[in-house]
C-alpha cells in the first residue's frame, strides 16, 4: 500500500490542476458532472498523499489508531472507483435516458457508501496493533474481521474494474456505429481514446486485484505469497491513475485539439504562403500591423497569420496575371487534380509569379489586381480553407 515520498509528486500535479480549475468548480458547482470531474482529481490526489509512507506514519500517530491510514486509503480508492462509473453514466446521459442514468448513479453511490461503511465497521471490530504500511493486506489476512475487510475491498475494486471495462467497451462500439455515417469530431476522437485507455486500466485492475486476492488466499492456506501483493501495489496505483487519465481525456482533450493542436497545424500549413506573399520590412496595406505578444495562444497567432496573409495578398494582387492562374489551373485539372486542388494550384502559381514580378520591379496593374481579388473571393466561397490549399499547392 505504501510508497516513499515520491508519491507526493503526482499528488502535487493533481493539486495544481485542482487549483487551476477551482474557478470552474465554483461556477459550475450545481452540475453533477462538474462535481464528478473535480472529485476525479481530488480523490487520487488524496490517495497518493495518504499512501506515502511519511503520511501513513503521521496519520497513525495523530489519530492514535494503528493502521488507520489503511482504512482511509481503501475508502478513497473505493470512492474513486465509484466516481469513475458515475462520471461515465453522466456523460452517456447526454444522449441517453436521463431517468435511467439517475437510477444507475444512485445504485453506484449506494453501493459505494455500503462498502465504505462495511470497511469501517470491520476495521473497528478487528485488532491491528502492529503498523504495517507495506503489507497490511497480507499481514492481517488471517486476522478476524480485518481479513474480511481486505477481501471486501478487493472484491469491490475488482467488480468496479469489470463494470468499467464493460461500460467502456460497449460505449466504444456505440461510437463506432454512430460515426460510421458521419465525420468524426474531436469530441469523438478524445472520447474513444479515453475509453480505450480506461478499458486497459480497468482490465489491469481486475487482474491485479485478483492476484492480490490470490495472495490473501495463500496466506489463509498457510503459504507466503506476500511478495505478490507487495509487487503489485505500485501497478494498482498506476492503473488507477490511468482510469483517471482516461476520464480526463474526453473532458479536456477536445479543447486542446481545437484550441491548441489544430491552430498549430494550421500555422505550420500556412508557412509556405506566409513566406511567399510577405514583403520584408513593410506593413500590409502600408499600415502598422502588430504581431501578437509572445504569450499569445495558438488561436491568436493563427488569426494573425490569416489576417496578415490576406493583407499581403491584397498588396501583391496588382502584380498578378490572370492568364497564369488559368493556365496552371487547367494543367492541374488535366493531371487529374480535383477541382479544389486545381483552383488552389492556379492561385498558387499566380501569386508565385506575382511575387517574382514585384521582386523584378515590374509595374503594378490595378486592373489585374481587381481580377486577382475577384478570383480569390470566388475560390473562398467554395473552399473555406483556401489559404491552406494554396500553401499546400506551393509545397507541391
Residue-wise burial string across 77-88, b where 16 or more C-beta atoms lie within 10 A, e elsewhere: bbbbbbbbbbbb
| Collapsed DSSP state (helix, strand, coil) of residue 142 | coil
The stretches of the chain forming alpha helices (DSSP H) are 8-27, 32-51, 53-63, 68-93, 98-125, 136-139, 146-178, 186-220, 226-256, 262-269, 271-277, 298-316, 322-334, 339-359, 366-382, 386-395
- The predicted structure's pLDDT at residue 30: 83
Q: What is the mean pLDDT of residues 195-204?
A: 88
Q: Of 354 and 251, which is predicted with more confidence?
A: 354
Q: Give 357's contacts (C-beta < 8 A, 6+ positions apart).
A: 319, 321
- The predicted structure's pLDDT at residue 347: 95
Q: What is the mean pLDDT of residues 119-123?
A: 95
- Output the CA torsion 69→74→79→84 (10° steps): 120
Q: What is the mean pLDDT of residues 185-214?
A: 87
pLDDT at 183 over 60: yes
Domains in the chain: ranges and CATH: 5-252 (1.20.1070), 270-395 (no CATH)
Identify the weakest region by mean pLDDT among 121-125, 246-250, 309-313, 380-384. 246-250
Q: What is the mean pLDDT of residues 116-129?
A: 94
pLDDT band for position 282 (cuts 50, 70, 90): low
Rounded to whole angstroms, the Cα distance separating 247 from 92 reads: 13
Q: What is the mean pLDDT of residues 289-310?
A: 84
What are phi and psi for residue 297, nearest 5 degrees? -80, 165
- The predicted structure's pLDDT at residue 361: 86
pLDDT band for position 57 (cuts 50, 70, 90): confident
pLDDT at 237 over 80: no
pLDDT at 123 over 60: yes
As given in the structure block, the three cell numbers for residue 252 are 479536456
DSSP codes joined into one string, 58-117? HHHHHH--TTHHHHHHHHHHHHHHHHHHHHHHHHHHTTS-HHHHHHHHHHHHHHHHHHHH
Q: What is the pTM of this model?
A: 0.71
- The predicted structure's pLDDT at residue 97: 67
Rounded to whole angstroms, the Cα distance separating 122 from 151 reads: 11
Q: What is the mean pLDDT of residues 194-198?
A: 88
- Long-range contacts of 184-188, Cβ-Cβ distance < 8 Å, separation of 24 or more: 185/254, 186/253, 186/254, 186/257, 186/258, 186/262, 187/250, 187/254
**Adjacent-strand bridge partners of 3:** 52
pLDDT band for position 14 (cuts 50, 70, 90): confident
Q: What is the mean pLDDT of residues 373-385?
A: 90
- The predicted structure's pLDDT at residue 232: 67
Rounded to whole angstroms, the Cα distance separating 140 from 132 reads: 9
Q: What is the mean pLDDT of residues 93-114?
A: 83
- The predicted structure's pLDDT at residue 288: 47
- The rounded percent of the chain whose pLDDT value lies above 70 is 91
Rounded to whole angstroms, the Cα distance separating 108 from 86 reads: 7
Rounded to whole angstroms, the Cα distance separating 238 from 51 reads: 13
- The predicted structure's pLDDT at residue 16: 80
Amino acid at each position: 500500500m505504501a510508497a516513499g515520498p515520491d508519491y507526493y509528486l503526482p499528488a502535487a500535479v493533481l493539486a495544481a490542476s485542482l487549483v487551476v480549475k477551482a474557478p470552474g468548480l465554483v461556477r459550475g458547482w450545481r452540475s453533477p458532472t462538474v462535481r464528478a470531474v473535480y472529485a476525479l482529481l481530488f480523490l487520487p490526489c488524496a490517495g497518493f498523499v495518504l499512501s506515502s509512507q511519511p503520511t501513513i506514519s503521521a496519520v497513525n500517530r495523530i489519530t492514535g489508531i494503528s493502521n488507520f491510514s489503511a482504512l482511509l486509503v481503501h475508502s478513497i480508492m473505493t470512492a474513486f472507483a465509484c466516481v469513475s462509473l458515475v462520471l461515465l453514466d453522466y456523460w452517456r446521459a447526454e444522449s441517453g435516458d436521463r431517468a435511467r442514468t439517475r437510477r444507475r448513479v444512485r445504485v453506484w453511490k449506494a453501493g459505494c457508501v455500503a462498502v465504505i461503511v462495511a470497511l469501517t465497521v470491520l476495521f473497528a471490530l478487528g485488532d491491528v496493533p502492529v503498523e504495517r504500511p507495506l503489507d497490511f493486506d497480507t499481514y492481517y489476512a488471517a486476522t478476524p474481521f480485518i481479513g474480511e475487510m481486505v477481501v471486501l475491498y478487493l472484491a469491490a475494486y475488482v467488480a468496479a474494474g469489470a463494470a468499467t471495462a464493460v461500460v467502456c467497451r460497449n460505449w466504444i462500439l456505440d461510437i463506432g456505429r454512430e460515426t460510421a455515417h458521419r465525420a468524426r469530431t474531436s469530441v469523438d476522437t478524445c472520447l474513444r481514446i479515453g475509453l480505450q485507455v480506461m478499458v486497459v486500466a480497468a482490465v489491469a485492475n481486475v487482474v491485479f486485484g485478483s492476484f492480490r486476492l490470490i495472495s490473501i488466499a495463500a496466506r489463509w492456506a498457510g503459504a507466503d505469497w506476500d511478495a505478490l501483493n507487495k509487487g503489485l501495489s505500485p501497478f494498482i496505483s498506476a492503473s488507477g491513475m490511468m482510469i483517471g487519465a482516461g476520464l480526463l481525456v474526453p473532458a479536456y482533450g477536445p479543447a486542446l485539439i481545437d484550441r491548441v493542436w489544430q491552430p498549430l497545424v494550421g500555422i505550420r500549413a500556412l508557412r509556405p504562403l506566409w513566406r511567399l506573399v510577405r514583403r520584408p520590412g513593410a506593413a500590409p496595406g502600408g499600415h502598422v500591423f502588430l504581431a501578437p505578444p509572445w504569450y499569445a495562444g495558438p488561436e491568436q497567432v493563427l488569426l494573425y497569420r490569416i489576417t496578415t496573409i490576406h493583407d499581403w495578398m491584397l498588396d501583391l494582387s496588382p502584380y498578378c496575371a490572370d492568364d497564369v492562374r488559368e493556365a496552371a489551373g487547367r494543367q492541374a485539372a488535366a493531371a487529374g487534380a480535383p477541382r479544389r486542388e486545381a483552383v488552389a494550384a492556379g492561385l498558387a502559381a499566380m501569386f508565385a509569379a506575382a511575387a517574382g514580378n514585384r521582386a523584378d520591379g515590374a509595374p503594378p496593374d490595378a486592373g489585374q489586381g481587381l481580377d486577382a481579388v475577384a478570383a480569390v473571393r470566388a475560390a473562398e466561397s467554395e473552399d473555406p480553407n483556401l489559404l491552406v490549399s494554396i500553401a499546400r499547392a506551393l509545397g507541391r
